[in-house]
Structure 1
Amino acid sequence: MGTSTRSRFGVLGQLWFQVLAGTAIGILVGWLAPDAGAAMKPLGDAFIKLIRMMIGPIIFVTVVHGIAGMNDMKSVGRVALKSLIYFEAITILALVIGLVGVDLWQPGVGMNIDASTIDTGSIQSYVHTAHDQSVTGYLMNIIPTTLVSALTEPHVLQVLFVSVLFGVALAAIGEKGKSVMVVIEGASQALFKIIGYIMYFAPIGAFGAIAFTVGKFGAGSLASLGELILEFFVVCAVFTIVVLGTVAWWCGVSLWRLLYYIRDEIVVVAATTSTETVLPRLIQKLEKVGCEESVVGFVIPAGYSFNLDGTCLYLTTVAVFLAQATNTHLTFWHELGLIAVLLLTSKGAAGVAGAAFVVLAATLSTTGTIPVASIALILGIHRILAEGLTFVNLVGNALATVVIAKWEGKLDQALLAQTIGSRAQQRRHQLASTKA
């Protein structure tokens, strides 16, 4: 939404309010007229497709412009290494916290479900996709078929791979590459302008997505598996406040100011249950809080594959819940093995539709302890659980960018203090300004 539109209509002109309104209307339609609500699915799908159409080109121009503008190519390697170290540390924490939460709450105990009686027809496509995932296949899939196909396929890591290569090459040829840099910069401005146009349709997309969810699955799913939903949302809240809150404090960021700053994106993600829908806007917003373009351009796309904190919470929570529900005994070593497998499989379905569900199926197939058929139990509430996991993924990646920017010395502290800085950060900035 443009600045003039916002000022003219006040809160009515705010994207978050319009998306909330669309979501509320979608819930009503799905509840009062389930068939009509389910028929609204194309509206949500169309909006997500419009955003996905732009992700490849936007990552390309952002990463290329950022890397080609660096004077020190070693910093590219440092950013990549630091990002991976941070991603692994936080995702391990997420896996452990998810495991501890479900073990203490025990939402599946007492359900006494016989896995052999479960109808698995609805999960066959997910199980088939899960069997197609492997470490070798995942690594090979990072390399695109052609240079151009990386921009047309829904694989973020392929785009990132090509973008880094192109950016490094452009920097290496020096003066000869300046004319290309001008084109890249112009293309970047045009692409983000298109994103601005697409976001006008966000309320319609939110309406269609939530109307379909409510109309298709109804309130019955919430009632039968309500304890799992409640437990998972509590775990997501604890992880966000304790873990991400601590990381934010270390960075001099106010977690609450950060959440308010990305409120539009939070609402859109909640309505569509897809973090991809806000990737381009998140890149823009993090540059505006003082993170250098080269860091944002690498960390955000990489984080969408390697820093899925919410997905890790989901995987451990649901896997152990299914074990509890089917009376499958898990020893300490089983749970430790589960975490070890999830460290690999949680990275193995990036770019796959319904990635969290696919990874869950792949994990249960790999461990062989918990019946794979049991995942049919949570198919009806997967989109509800996705509300929590996508929120945590979004906040986690936004914060990760600030962490890496600070770690690499590529963070504008003054700008950070003005936008999402903590009170201590703001006081330090005011004191520095007074002395200056």
Structure 2
Amino acid sequence: MNTSTEATHPAAQLKPAARTRQPFYKAMYFQVLLGIVLGGLVGHFWPDFAASLKPLGDAFIKLIKMIIGPVVFCTVVTGIAGMQDLKKVGRVGGKALLYFEIISTVSLVIGLLGGHLFNPGAGFHVNPDSLDASAVTGFAEKAQHLGIVEFLMSIIPNTFVSALADGNILCILLISVLFGCALSAMGDKGKPVYTMIEGVSGVFFGIVHIIAKFSAVGAFGAIASTVGTYGAASLLPLLKLIASFYVLCIFFIVLVLGFVARLCGFSILRFVSYIKDELLIVLGTSSSEVVLPQIMEKMERLGCSKSVVGLVIPTGYSFNLDGTNIYLTMAVLFIAQALDIELTWGQQLTLIIVAMLSSKGASGVSGAAFVMLTSTLLVVPVVPVAGMVLILGIHRFMGTGLAMTNLVGNGVAALVVSAWEKELDRGKLNQQLHPTKH
């Protein structure tokens, strides 16, 4: 199906005709940052009232999740149907998975080495018998059902419609690929369907832009309720773990992803600046899913191939979780140190392998990172699952860092695979990352 639609893609339609400088107070990044600051102040000075603001953040997240399924479906279908060679689908998917596994291994090792370097759990000397595991029972129950077979079966939805209704990204990706391949095979007969889906895609991206206008309100409510519930004082005993984790995330982004970015011909710092709006939304909501439609649109605007973005970004949300990997290995090591448990190098190697698998098995599960941690501890029984209660209170704060790292990692992955496929528009890339030169 010959459907070259660069000019008519929803992202292109919704893009301003010319870059105009708007007042700083109208910029999304400023509004979201203001919401975060105000939310923190309200949470600190009026904690009871702030805790009641949680529905503001929850409502914004639900609004975005409501639209993720249709956006991913339309983007992937039109991307695949527009390919001249369906072998490209397998080739792009294979390259993406290879890249994901390499970078995931690096991030897991960095988390482990960082745990040894900073030694955040030293000095706690917690008696395992004194821990109350009831608070993490729910996560343990979910983790017990995350075996390889269960994971593979969960990718197949019960019905075509249920994939969209449940919002499981892997299920949506499966039906989207099948639909796109079948539509492409129809040739000219499929053009009316293609045109319809492309038009619907424009509508859904329009809805995304409307919802995005409430980003600052969502960030305000989420931060206010978090600070009001836990309080800044509750962080002090575990501040070393939080600080160490964020240092490792920054190290990974600047050095590891920075090195990858340099090989592809762009600056990681300029890329981070380019997606600052999305990063601030993630900072406020502690969820990278809330910006999935926006990051897909921005990556196309940055010069990535539409078909590559449609495959790499949604897949990366399940298979390329760099920040989550750092969190997994570092959290297990922290719990072991706090409980005065010595892990052998063999056990730590097993930990990396198990974490590599468990980080893929909790896609679409509520509290995914915590469930992944639980499933990892269940396989490495030398560290008791009850030890998770030590970080239960600060998981939200660490979840923010891992979500932001995941977002940056997936954006870089789309650029890498596009460059690998020789479908990265360098002109667009330079124009967006170096606007003052154009």
Give the distance between the partners of 2:200 and 2:101, measured in 1 at CA: 34
Q: Which amino acid aligns with 1:242?
A: L
Give the distance between the partners of 2:65 and 2:236, measured in 1 at CA: 34
Asked whether the equivalents of residues 254 and 269 of structure 2 are also in contact (C-alpha less than 8 Å), the reply is no
- Percent identity between matched residues is 49
Give the distance between the partners of 2:46 and 2:15, measured in 1 at CA: 34
Which 4+ stretches in 1 moved above 3 angstroms? Answer: 1-4, 6-9
Quote the residue 2:369 is aligned against. Answer: 356
Quote the residue 2:359 is aligned against. Answer: 346
Give the distance between the partners of 2:86 and 2:73, measured in 1 at CA: 18
TM-score (norm 1): 0.95
Offset from partner CA, 1:21-64 (integer Å, 9 cap, x none): 11111111111111111111111111000000000000000000
Give the distance between the partners of 1:413 and 1:279, measured in 2 at CA: 23
Give the distance between the partners of 1:2 and 1:82, measured in 2 at CA: 30
Quote the residue 1:237 is aligned against. Answer: 250
Offset from partner CA, 1:274-302 (integer Å, 9 cap, x none): 00010000000000011111000000000
- Structure 1 residue 391: Cα displacement: 1.1
Give the distance between the partners of 1:87 and 1:334, measured in 2 at CA: 24
Residue among 138, 143, 149 paired with 2:156? 143
Residue among 294, 301, 317 paired with 2:307? 294
Q: Which amino acid aligns with 2:361?
A: G
Asked whether the equivalents of residues 351 and 380 of structure 2 are also in contact (C-alpha less than 8 Å), the reply is yes
SS at structure 1 position matched to 2:213? helix
Structure 2 stretches of 5 or more lacking a match?
Answer: 1-13
Asked whether the equivalents of residues 252 and 421 of structure 1 are also in contact (C-alpha less than 8 Å), the reply is no
Give yes or no for the alignment of 1:153 onto 2:166. yes
Asked whether the equivalents of residues 52 and 276 of structure 1 are also in contact (C-alpha less than 8 Å), the reply is yes
Give the distance between the partners of 2:131 and 2:43, measured in 1 at CA: 27
- Structure 1 residue 134: Cα displacement: 1.1
Residue among 122, 126, 129 paired with 1:113? 126
Give yes or no for the alignment of 1:249 onto 2:251. no
Give the distance between the partners of 1:179 and 1:342, measured in 2 at CA: 45
Q: Which amino acid aligns with 1:80?
A: G
Structure 1 stretches of 5 or more lacking a match?
Answer: 431-436
- Structure 1 residue 361: Cα displacement: 0.7
- Structure 1 residue 367: Cα displacement: 1.1
- Structure 1 residue 120: Cα displacement: 2.0
Q: Structure 2 matches for 1:113-132, cutoff 5 A?
A: 113-132=126-145
Q: Which amino acid aligns with 1:279?
A: L
Asked whether the equivalents of residues 67 and 164 of structure 1 are also in contact (C-alpha less than 8 Å), the reply is yes
Q: Which amino acid aligns with 1:292?
A: S
Which segment is superposed worse, 80-89 or 250-259?
Answer: 250-259
SS at structure 1 position matched to 2:160? coil
Asked whether the equivalents of residues 102 and 320 of structure 1 are also in contact (C-alpha less than 8 Å), the reply is yes
Q: Structure 2 matches for 1:298-313, cutoff 5 A?
A: 298-313=311-326
Asked whether the equivalents of residues 254 and 422 of structure 1 are also in contact (C-alpha less than 8 Å), the reply is no
Offset from partner CA, 1:218-256 (integer Å, 9 cap, x none): 112210101101111111111111100000101111111
Give the distance between the partners of 1:9 and 1:301, measured in 2 at CA: 32
Quote the residue 2:3 is aligned against. Answer: none
Give the distance between the partners of 1:201 and 1:219, measured in 2 at CA: 26
Give the distance between the partners of 2:344 and 2:46, measured in 1 at CA: 46
TM-score (norm 2): 0.94
Quote the residue 2:199 is aligned against. Answer: 186
Quote the residue 2:89 is aligned against. Answer: 76
- Structure 1 residue 116: Cα displacement: 1.3
- Structure 1 residue 108: Cα displacement: 0.5
Q: Which amino acid aligns with 2:177?
A: V
Give the distance between the partners of 2:391 and 2:80, measured in 1 at CA: 43
- Structure 1 residue 128: Cα displacement: 1.3
Give the distance between the partners of 2:128 and 2:139, measured in 1 at CA: 17
- Structure 1 residue 422: Cα displacement: 12
Give yes or no for the alignment of 1:174 onto 2:187. yes
Asked whether the equivalents of residues 98 and 313 of structure 1 are also in contact (C-alpha less than 8 Å), the reply is yes
Offset from partner CA, 1:199-218 (integer Å, 9 cap, x none): 11111110111011101111
Asked whether the equivalents of residues 249 and 422 of structure 1 are also in contact (C-alpha less than 8 Å), the reply is no
